[in-house]
Structure 1
C-alpha cells in the first residue's frame, strides 16, 4: 500500500447506482429490491430508470405498459453522472429476444465518453432481469448486460449461490423472475435481488476502499 490507511478507512459508504428499464413495473420492483439490499449494507443508492422510447401506439397495445407509463413514480431518469458517481452499478432490463431492451441499450450506448476517459474502470457491475417465460432468455439477457461491463473494464459480480435465498431462485447469474400471466415479482425473486444488492454494496466497499488507499 502506497497511500495512507486513513484514506482507505474513510471509504465506509459505497455508492450504488441501480439503472434499469421497466415496461410494466416488474423490473422496477426488482430494482427496488436490489436497492433495499444495498442500503441495508450501508450504501448510498440512486435508483434510476432510463427513458421510455417506444412509440405511443406500441405502449397503448398493452394495458399494463400504458398504466406504468402513466403512473411511473420516478422523477429522475438515469444520467451518465449516475454511472460516474457510483462505485457499484446494477443494470436491470426485461428480456427482449434473449437480450436487454432497446431502451436500456440506447442509454448504455451513450457511455462512450466515460469509457474513453477510463471513468468506468474498476466499477463493480451486476445485472438482473425478468421475462414472461421460463426459457425466455433470463441468463442470456444478464450475460448480454455483463458484456457492457467487460468493455468498460468493470469488475463483473455474479449473484452466485451466496445465500439460501438464491438456492430457491436457482439463478446464480443474477436476480430474475418469470412473470407468468403478468404476475408481479414474488418474494423468492425479491429476496434474491436483496441478496444481490447487499453483495454489490459489500464488494463495492472493498474495491473503493482499496482504490482510496492506493493498494498495489
Structure 2
C-alpha cells in the first residue's frame, strides 16, 4: 500500500480552522499518509492584528508552524485546506498564495493531485458553501481531483450535512465536527492512493 503525501494547510484568525487542520492531519496520519501541517502567511498589517487580542493570540500560537511554500505544493500528492469565509469567499491570505502558483501550474506540477477543503463563518449562512465552491473552482484550473465528502457517512449529517466540505460557525468545532473532518480526511487519503495508482498506470 502506498503512503500518500498530504499537505494540510490552514488560515485561522481566531483558531477554529487551526483546530480543524490539526484534526485533519491526525486522521490522515492514522489512515497511513505522510502529512505536512502548514499555515498560510498572515498578510494583514501587523498593527491591525495587534489591535485585536484574540487575533494576536492566535497569530502567536501558530508562529512555530511553517508557512506554506511552493516546495510543499510540489511535494504533496493531495491537499486538505481549511480557512474561514470572507464576504462569501476565501480569505485574501489564501488568495495571495494561490496567485503565486502560476509557474507551477504552467509546468503541470499541480495537476492530478487530490484536493478537499473545509471552512467556517460567523453564522450558518455566512457564505460557507460559496467559499468552498469558489475554492474548488480555482483548483479546477490546476487539473486537481476534487474529493468532496458528499453524503458518504452518517457522521456528516450530525455535523451540519455540507456535502462540499465540513463547515461550522466560528468557535463551534465539537465532537461531531471532529468526526466529520476525520471522515473527510480519510476519504482524501483513500482517493489520493487511487489517483496515484491511476497516474502510475497512465505514465
What TM-score, normalized by structure 1, do the two folds share?
A: 0.89
Which residue pairs with 2:196 in the alignment?
208
CA RMSD of aligned residues (A): 1.4
Which of 166, 171, 175 is the matching residue for 1:175?
166
Which of 112, 115, 126 is the matching residue for 1:136?
126
Compute the displacement of 1:57 (Å): 2.6
Matched, 1:112 2:102: yes
Aligned in 2, Cα 1:26/1:74: closer, same or farther, shift over 3 Å? Answer: farther
What are the ranges of 5 or more consecutive residues in structure 1 without an aligned counterpart? 1-10
Q: Check whether the contact 2:37–2:65 (CA below 8 A) recurs between aligned residues.
A: no
Task: Give deviations 1:115-147, integer Å, cap 9, x for gaps.
Answer: 000011111111110111110000011111111
Flag as ranges the 4+ runs of structure 1 deviating above 3 A.
Answer: none
Matched, 1:75 2:65: yes
Residue aligned with 1:91, SS: strand
Compute the displacement of 1:114 (Å): 0.6
Which of 168, 173, 179 is the matching residue for 1:185?
173
Task: Give deviations 1:73-118, integer Å, cap 9, x for gaps.
Answer: 5331110111111111112211000000100110111110110000
What TM-score, normalized by structure 2, do the two folds share?
A: 0.94
Which residue pairs with 2:116 in the alignment?
126
What are the ranges of 5 or more consecutive residues in structure 2 without an aligned counterpart? none
Higher Cα Rg, which structure: 1
Which residue pairs with 2:156 in the alignment?
166
Which of 10, 30, 42 is the matching residue for 1:20?
10
Compute the displacement of 1:211 (Å): 1.5
Aligned length in residues: 202
Which of 80, 92, 112 is the matching residue for 1:90?
80
